[in-house]
């Protein structure tokens, strides 16, 4: 059965991509600690200021063509070559614009030293764009091991260069050099490993046909980028750095599971869903939702019920005002991670990308309306509450759009995405009650709460799924459930 093969490909790909992502993050953490000792805070500030502009521009150059090639099989080599040259041309134009506007951007940021950094980083826009089509073709071919190797090699080379340059006293240029090295190693690696080479030139009529689909992908990226940054921008502008800190700390933590699981799942799920149709696609999608819910539900429910303990134990009492913000953002992340990310891959694979754009526009409208209503007076907690409302509005709209396609029943989708909610809720409540009875150092209380919560969750999940409390202490049991779509036998 093709669905079983697709599920195995999804699990295999997710394993490799997660391995590459975790390895890259470990390298980044180690190098960041070393750099923090070798460089000054202003060096990081200059680089981050320039990267705000570079990251915003890098959304545009690939025109959504990478995902389009994964979904569509028409055009072949002619389409791939057209897309490559078009992306390269647009990236060169945008890089030139960034280079020319560097002095103006530095003046706007009130940091003249940003201008030369921004000019050099503009080169990265072209390097990054040159790798977009080969990467997409590797994803289309589901070559997960090769991609994981690239994900690991690029940050490793970057870390070596950054630390060496920082040791030699290069200041901010050590970070810039390392960042460019990362992009260059990634681009050159995918060119070698993909074994694809462009031919001919740009077929403008074919490009217009491709852009009819890919324009929705660009719109989705821009809309999602705005939705995910406007809250931080509001607090920075109206409430200042201190209040933004109380929001940014929990926001960064709730984003970690999204980066490790949802984003990696999306990269794997799109080519897998594009390779199957009809009932088989539905089965793969629902099983992917169940797997993500199994992993993410206990994490976010733990934060909802243990936010104060978590914040005090890890960051100290001065950060306690961020605890209620963490609770609301964890609730926000439940909907965003389970009713957002993977649905993007589904709608793209169904060749209906507009169905993920419309809910994002509605959520963005709700978010902006709330911020205008707040008139600059909302603190971090108020913003977290309102954006949680906006993201659940988006989730409801996603379900409505999915219902319109006729591919799924709403009940079966809700059952899949809330697969782990009940045992996670029970585990979080019980572990919170036990933690409240303890009279121990706060770090020890957190450790006890984590261990108790994890074990209660696995026990509860086993009872609900298999009527066997120990069933999911064995990886093979729920792996079999995920890959074969049936209940394992005792």
Please identify which residue in the block is written with the tokens 């990478």.
Answer: 66
Which pair of tokens denotes residue 384? Answer: 């977290």
Write the DSSP symbol of residue 300: H
Three-state DSSP state, 123: helix
The dihedral built from the CA positions of residue 19, 25, 27 and 29, taken in this order, carries a sign that is: negative
What is the pTM (predicted TM-score) of this model?
A: 0.81
Of 488, 483, 439, 485, whose CA–CA distance to 466 is shortest? 488
Q: Is the dihedral of CA 262, 268, 273, 276 positive or negative?
A: negative
Number of Cβ within 10 Å of residue 89's Cβ equals 13
What's the token pair of residue 46? Answer: 């200059």
- Which own/partner contact pairs does 192-199 have at CB distance under 8 Å and 24+ positions apart? 193/138, 193/143, 193/146, 193/149, 193/150, 194/134, 194/135, 194/137, 194/138, 196/80, 196/133, 196/134, 196/137, 198/80, 198/81, 198/84, 198/85, 198/133, 199/77, 199/81
Instruction: Provide the token pair at 260.
Output: 């490790």
Question: How much is the pLDDT for 199?
Answer: 84
Q: Cα separation of 55 and 193, whole Å?
A: 26
pLDDT at 124 (0 to 100):
87
The Cα–Cα gap between 310 and 300 comes to: 12
Residue 439, Ramachandran bin (φ over 0: left; ψ between -120 and 50: alpha; else beta): beta
CA atoms within 13 A on the CB side of 26: 8
Which of 2, 5, 7 lies closest to 286, judged by CA? 7
Nearest CA-CA partner of 140 in 270, 20, 14, 284 = 270
Q: What pLDDT was estimated at residue 376? A: 86
36 close to 174: Cβ distance less than 8 angstroms:
no
At 301 the pLDDT is: 97
pLDDT beneath 70: ranges in the chain:
1-25, 28-29, 32-33, 36, 41, 44-45, 61, 73-75, 109-110, 241, 475-490
Opening angle at CA 64, ends 59 and 65, nearest 5:
135
* pLDDT, position 339: 78
Q: Is the dihedral of CA 56, 58, 62, 66 positive or negative?
A: negative
Count of beta carbons in the 10 Å neighbourhood of residue 256 = 12
Cα–Cα distance for residue pair 191/182, rounded to 1 Å: 14
Round the CA-based radius of gyration of the chain to a whole number and report it: 23
| Model pLDDT, residue 476 | 65
DSSP letters spanning 468-488: -TTGGGSHHHHHHHHHH-SPP
186: number of CA atoms within 13 Å, CB side?
A: 26
For residue 378, the model assigns a pLDDT of 92
pLDDT tens track for 381-433: 999 999 999 999 999 999 999 988 888 888 999 999 998 999 999 999 999 99
Nearest to 63 by CA among 84, 47, 49: 84
Q: How many residues does the chain have?
A: 490
Cα distance between residue 295 and residue 264, in whole Å: 13
The dihedrals phi and psi of 32, each to the nearest 5 degrees, come to -65, -40
Burial of residue 411, with CB atoms counted within 10 A of its CB: 0-12 exposed, 13-18 middle, 19 or more buried: exposed
Answer for the pair 111, 46: CB distance below 8 angstroms, yes or no.
Answer: yes
Query: How far is 417 from 323, CA to CA, in rounded Å?
Result: 26
Predicted local confidence at residue 21, as pLDDT: 67
Name the one residue in this structure whose structure tokens are 């929705």: 216
Q: Residue 311 is encoded by which pair of tokens? A: 């914040």
What 8-state DSSP symbol labels residue 318? G
Alpha carbon distance 393, 358 (integer Å): 11
Q: From start to end of 260-351, where are the E strands?
A: none
């Amino acid at each position: 059965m093709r669905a079983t093969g697709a599920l195995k490909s999804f699990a295999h790909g997710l394993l490799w991509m997660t391995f590459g992502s975790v390895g890259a993050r470990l390298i980044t953490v180690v190098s960041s600690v070393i750099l923090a000792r070798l460089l000054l805070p202003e060096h990081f500030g200059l680089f981050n200021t320039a990267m705000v502009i570079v990251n915003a521009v890098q959304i545009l150059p690939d025109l959504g063509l990478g995902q389009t090639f994964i979904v569509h099989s028409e055009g072949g080599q002619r389409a791939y070559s057209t897309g490559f040259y078009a992306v390269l041309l647009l990236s060169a134009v945008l890089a030139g614009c960034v280079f020319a506007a560097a002095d103006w951007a530095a003046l706007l940021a009130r940091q003249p030293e940003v201008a030369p950094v921004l000019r050099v980083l503009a080169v990265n826009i072209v390097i990054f764009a040159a790798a977009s089509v080969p990467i997409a073709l590797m994803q289309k071919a589901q070559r997960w091991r090769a991609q994981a190797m690239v994900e690991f090699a690029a940050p490793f080379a970057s870390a070596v260069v950054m630390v060496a340059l920082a040791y030699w006293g290069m200041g901010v240029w050590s970070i810039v050099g390392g960042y460019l090295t990362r992009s260059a190693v990634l681009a050159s690696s995918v060119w070698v490993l993909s074994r694809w080479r462009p031919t001919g030139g740009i077929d403008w009529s074919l490009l217009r046909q491709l852009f009819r689909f890919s324009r929705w992908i660009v719109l989705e990226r821009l809309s999602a980028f705005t939705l995910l940054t406007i809250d931080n921008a509001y607090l920075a502008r109206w409430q200042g750095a201190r209040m933004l800190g109380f929001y940014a700390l929990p926001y960064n933590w709730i984003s970690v599971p999204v980066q490790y699981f949802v984003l990696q799942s999306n990269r794997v799920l799109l080519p897998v869903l594009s390779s199957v149709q009809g009932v088989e696609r539905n089965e793969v999608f629902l099983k992917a939702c169940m797997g993500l819910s199994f992993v993410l539900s206990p994490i976010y429910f733990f934060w909802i019920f243990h936010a104060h303990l978590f914040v005090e134990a890890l960051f100290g009492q001065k950060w306690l005002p961020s605890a209620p913000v963490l609770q609301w953002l964890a609730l926000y992340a439940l909907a965003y991670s389970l009713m957002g990310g993977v649905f993007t891959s589904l709608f793209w694979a169904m060749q209906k990308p507009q169905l993920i754009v419309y809910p994002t526009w509605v959520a963005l409208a709700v978010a902006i309306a709330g911020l205008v209503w707040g008139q600059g007076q909302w603190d971090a907690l108020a913003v977290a509450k309102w954006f949680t409302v906006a993201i659940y509005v988006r989730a409801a709209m996603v379900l409505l759009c999915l219902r319109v396609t006729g591919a799924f029943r709403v009940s079966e989708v809700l059952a899949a995405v809330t697969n782990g909610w009940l045992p996670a809720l029970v585990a979080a409540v019980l572990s919170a009650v036990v933690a409240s009875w303890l009279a121990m150092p706060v770090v020890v209380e957190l450790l006890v709460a984590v261990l108790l919560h994890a074990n209660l969750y696995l026990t509860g999940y086993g009872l609900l799924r298999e009527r066997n409390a120990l069933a999911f202490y064995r990886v093979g049991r729920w792996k079999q459930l995920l890959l074969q779509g049936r209940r394992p036998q005792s």
